[in-house]
Amino acid sequence: MQNRARSQVLVISLSALLAACNLPASELPTPELIAASATPFHASGPTVAPTPASTPEPYAQLSINALSGRAYGGGQVVDLGVLATTNTFTRHLISYPSDGLTVNGFVDIPFGTGPFPVVLVLHGYVDPDDYKVEGYTAGYAAAFANAGYIAIHPNYRNYPPSDQGPNEFRVGFAIDVMNLIADANAQAGQQGLLAAANADAIFLWGHSMGGGIILRVLAVGADVQGALLYGSMSGDERRNFEHIRDVLSEGDRGNEELLATDEQLAQISPIFFYDRIQAPVSIHHGDIDDVVPLVWSQELCELLQSLGKSVECFTYHNMPHTFYGLNDQLLVERSIEFFQRFTPNP
């Protein structure tokens, strides 16, 4: 109970948010944490210089606008066999198509006839060489299945045994999630593995990189009823990849993305499109997170509030990037309560 009481809702001033645009996280003011209520989407030839009209923009298909204007889905979530059976659900290995690639993952399906609400459980960054389909987020998926949710865990492209594919700015991961949302929606109530799914109650839950994927998916306009972010990366891609390069990888990752100009990044970064977010958002972050700065979630909370979006924001005292103990249990409880609140009545 003491840990529960020390978890509280985050709010920071808009002035701190604006100041953050030009200050490193270490110089940002520490915001006062107070309670706030949530509100319930070529021309050829060596002498011919190419013109802008004849030179393709290298990042055009990665922009939020381009992603919003294309189609998703059209495939099938395929059952590849049972991985485990518990007293309350069965876990299946799955695959589904995403832009010509085969993506793998698993799904936990509760016993019963349904219809069951659906939550997509999105993992954070793991070295692909160390990745297992049933990774650290499998416990969260199981908790949601125990509570009566179909929990789908995609491992995204480039994570074995999924196929390799393009993924600049992690846009490929977001495309994989968008295709899965569309397929789950189409298969709900039909024959097949997801026959017991409720198409009117699809939610997103993402940790770290998974949270950053969700921000892009929301800005693009996914048909979901809510999204929960846990220690989430930023919607500002320059900030993300500078942090990945300088802090998280000692210069090994993030260099290619940082070749993009500010103008190109403004079309790619979800942060410039938050006005399009329609689904309610729940934000959770530990106050001693040394992987993703707490201030990023604080800024996101304030920005969404300033845009009039439905958002609730929690900080967890003395919690690192990945929670444990009673606060981890509290995160699960709050996640389920959030999903229940926005699940339409049958």
Residue 51 lies inside a defined structural domain of this protein: no
Q: What is the pLDDT of residue 23?
A: 39
Q: What is the pLDDT of residue 51?
A: 41
Q: Is residue 37 assigned to a domain?
A: no
Whether 31 is covered by a domain: the verdict is no
pLDDT one digit per residue (tens) for the chain, 346 residues: 444 444 443 333 333 333 344 434 333 333 333 233 333 222 223 333 344 444 568 899 999 999 999 999 999 999 999 999 999 999 999 999 999 999 999 999 999 999 999 999 999 999 999 999 999 999 999 999 999 999 999 999 999 999 999 999 999 999 999 999 999 999 999 989 999 999 999 999 999 999 999 999 999 999 999 999 999 999 999 999 999 999 999 889 989 999 999 999 999 999 999 999 999 999 999 999 999 999 999 999 999 999 999 999 999 999 999 999 999 999 999 999 999 999 997 6
Judge whether 291 lies within some domain.
Answer: yes
| pLDDT tens column, 120-144 | 999 999 999 999 999 999 999 999 9
Per-residue pLDDT, 81: 97
Burial code of 102-113, b = ≥16 C-beta within 10 A, e = fewer?
ebbbbbbbbeee
pTM: 0.84
Residue 318 belongs to what domain range? Answer: 2-20+61-341
pLDDT for the residue numbered 49? 38
Domains held by the chain: number: 1
42: in domain: no
SS3 label, residue 79: strand
Classify residue 242: in a domain, yes or no. Answer: yes
The answer to whether 201 touches 147, Cβ cutoff 8 Å, is: no
| CATH number of 250's domain | 3.40.50.1820
Q: What is the pLDDT of residue 250?
A: 87
Among candidate residues 280, 316, 279, 278, the one with its CA nearest the CA of residue 297: 316
Count of CB atoms situated within 10 Å of the CB of 37 = 7
Residue 251 CA: distances (Å) to CA of 105, 126, 288, 310, 318: 30, 17, 24, 37, 29
Residue recorded with tokens 């990189």: 209
DSSP per-residue codes, 115-154: -EEEEEEE-----GGG--SS-TTHHHHHHHHHTT-EEEEE
Evaluate whether residue 49 is within a structural domain.
Answer: no
